[in-house]
Structure 1
């Protein structure tokens, strides 16, 4: 909020830029602490077997355990949906048509889908390097991907507006630069889930597939990608929903 206020209220935008750099520095500090806490831990599973969880009988706590989640669902989902439906009915009663709403929904779904696809494609190589080929390059690529998430959306948006207006006028105010902005902004969401899925796949599967005659590409396509597909789809869904939330319809 301070960055946006300084940008809107001051002719000199230097203070807004300085506050943005402070956020970048804080993001780098948090990433450094996360790296130190994680260390060199290996998270891959040696096998697919697991012990079944033992159910715990709640006794007289059972009604409370059922009511509390229900209250959260009502407050987080039912209440906002009810308000929006109320607004919708008021608009229909006042003679509003569905045509602008339909066009807005189509535009939002298109932007969300394209942003999810582009973001996942950009996150996949970084996740592979971070999970399989640890080194200085992969370390800085992974950390750099999180910087955009630490910046306010207004900073990224205004930066791309300035760049497009001055250096790429053909892309100014187009869907392409909007998708690029969302890819920069939400890359960590796709990267985190994809990287976590890759870390759970044992490198021994790569070695076994290679020993059976598969090429590196065949190993990734036929062995690794099917195992990490849930994480990739989860990242894509998260980006899609976040874009729909951030993009005014």
Structure 2
């Protein structure tokens, strides 16, 4: 039986497809969603536009003089050396830890799976504060390598563990049956299939190294970010600082291109029918104790030392460091900025996620890419861009809460976008089509079907954005309105004055607020892996 949708008493909610079904109409029209996505993409390019404009406005001769000088060469050498040493160490710790947890008979492997992700809950500048408390003489590149490695190796471990959990062990079993030993199977079969996870983790570590300010400033190790901040504080957005920012952006773009190139064209997916084989864990035998001691050492250094010294300074400071009139305003303002920034980011990300899932095309991919490029830029570059644009174009909004929230949106938009995309993918458009075919208006079906099904993913994305805002330092230092006090800025103010006891409460609160983000990332990785 067919229904005449043009007959009286029925509602035409969309055109008919060739198969006789209804074509889904978005609640606000494709053109409106596309327009919003384009405006968001243009807005996200403000930092890149700022860098390009300042480079051109400086003039070729002046730009060459400022970029090709000994100081820039020194900063470049520090940055390259830091990256070349730290990234391989993070790869070894991350991939090695993931392999032990997911592919061996490691005792307590479920506990170790969480313990190796836990250091991500410690902001890098809090880690540096703790290690300076332990060894006050820490400074220079090797100290930077130590702190960066302990802070960022979980960025490799989490995706590597998820990828190992997703691999079909039958491939490894087939290789072993052909006579390959355990190490040969790992290097010739397992490791190549971890390429995407490892290169992605290496990119995240590298971008964090370029963006980090507090951790390296505390140990007096000069990088582009610390040098830009010094230039800004001494000359208020001087030309030299802008040229350093252009070099930093150039390095970020090189890293992005290198990561895309390193992925290769190979595909690592299991095809065909049947269930994946059950993983056979490699017996550790007499390597059990060395493995346990190695993981214990990493966990103690990366998580135990920071927590111990934060608690030690808290005890040394006594009850006075918990004066409510000092830490309570910082906590409340942090929670406010985190909640508002997370909500705005989710709303801003939705049009782009909707286009990517419901109207995929080269155009939607290009719009999405613009956001990923901007989010890869260090917070100090985004902060300088907003400082310059607001002072020159709209001085009335300089150092207002709205500008700070806008910077948070640009920095953390992909965290919301990735979650929204997965949520929309799990909300089939056929359900919207069914609702519209029953006479529901597009907006009604969108709210009652799509939004309800996407809500859990949106909440997860909002949580990640919220907790990223809690730990953000450089953009907040540059853009926060006068009188603003967040946990990160108050911690930095106290620690810069060598008031380590006074800084301890803010460090502890940041760790406690960051712990849910770490657990959420870990759980999401396991969910993707189908575990």
User: CA offsets, 1:198-249, max 9 Å, x none?
Assistant: 1233232222222222222122111111111111000000000111111414
Larger Rg: 2
Alignment counterpart, residue 187 of structure 1, candidates 386, 410, 413? 413
Contact 1:129-1:138 at 8 Å conserved across structures: yes
CA 1:95–1:216: 2 relative to 1, 3 Å: closer
Q: Which residue of 1 aligns with 2:450?
A: 224
Aligned equivalents of 2:371, 2:420: Cα separation in 1: 13
Tell me which of the two structures has the higher relative contact order, counting C-alpha pairs closer than 8 angstroms and 6 or more residues apart: 1
Q: Which residue of 2 aligns with 1:48?
A: none
Aligned equivalents of 2:262, 2:431: Cα separation in 1: 31
Task: Say whether 1:23 aligns with 2:252.
Answer: yes
Q: Which residue of 2 aligns with 1:175?
A: 401
Alignment counterpart, residue 4 of structure 1, candidates 225, 235, 253? 225
Q: Which residue of 1 aligns with 2:461?
A: 235
> Shift of the alpha carbon at 1:88?
2.5
Aligned positions of 1:194-233 closer than 5 A? 194-233=420-459
Task: Say whether 1:117 aligns with 2:338.
Answer: no
Question: SS in structure 2 opposite 1:121?
Answer: helix
Q: Which residue of 1 aligns with 2:325?
A: 99
Q: How many residues align?
A: 231
Aligned equivalents of 1:95, 1:224: Cα separation in 2: 48
Aligned equivalents of 2:335, 2:266: Cα separation in 1: 38
Q: Which residue of 1 aligns with 2:361?
A: 135
Aligned equivalents of 1:200, 1:96: Cα separation in 2: 45
Aligned positions of 1:150-169 closer than 5 A? 150-169=376-395
User: CA offsets, 1:11-45, max 9 Å, x none?
Assistant: 634243133134235436756988x889xxxxxxx
Contact 2:436-2:442 at 8 Å conserved across structures: yes
Q: Which runs of 5+ in 1 are unaligned?
A: 39-50
TM-score (norm 2): 0.38
> Shift of the alpha carbon at 1:125?
1.0
User: CA offsets, 1:27-66, max 9 Å, x none?
Assistant: 36756988x889xxxxxxxxxxxx9x999999x99xx8xx
> Shift of the alpha carbon at 1:146?
0.9
Aligned equivalents of 1:220, 1:92: Cα separation in 2: 54
Aligned equivalents of 1:204, 1:56: Cα separation in 2: 36
Q: Which residue of 2 aligns with 1:86?
A: 312
TM-score (norm 1): 0.76
Question: SS in structure 2 opposite 1:218?
Answer: helix
Question: SS in structure 1 opposite 2:448?
Answer: helix
CA 1:227–1:173: 2 relative to 1, 3 Å: same
Question: SS in structure 2 opposite 1:214?
Answer: coil
CA 1:82–1:140: 2 relative to 1, 3 Å: same
Q: Which residue of 2 aligns with 1:244?
A: 470
Q: Which residue of 1 aligns with 2:243?
A: 14
Q: Which runs of 5+ in 2 are unaligned?
A: 1-209, 211-222, 232-237, 268-274, 474-487, 491-531
> Shift of the alpha carbon at 1:93?
5.3
Aligned equivalents of 1:20, 1:132: Cα separation in 2: 32
Question: SS in structure 1 opposite 2:471?
Answer: helix
Aligned equivalents of 2:382, 2:408: Cα separation in 1: 9
> Shift of the alpha carbon at 1:102?
0.6
Aligned equivalents of 2:371, 2:261: Cα separation in 1: 13
Tell me the C-alpha RMSD between the 2 structures. 3.6
Contact 1:3-1:20 at 8 Å conserved across structures: no
User: Structure 1 stretch 111-120 or stretch 209-218: which is displaced more?
Assistant: 209-218
> Shift of the alpha carbon at 1:83?
3.4
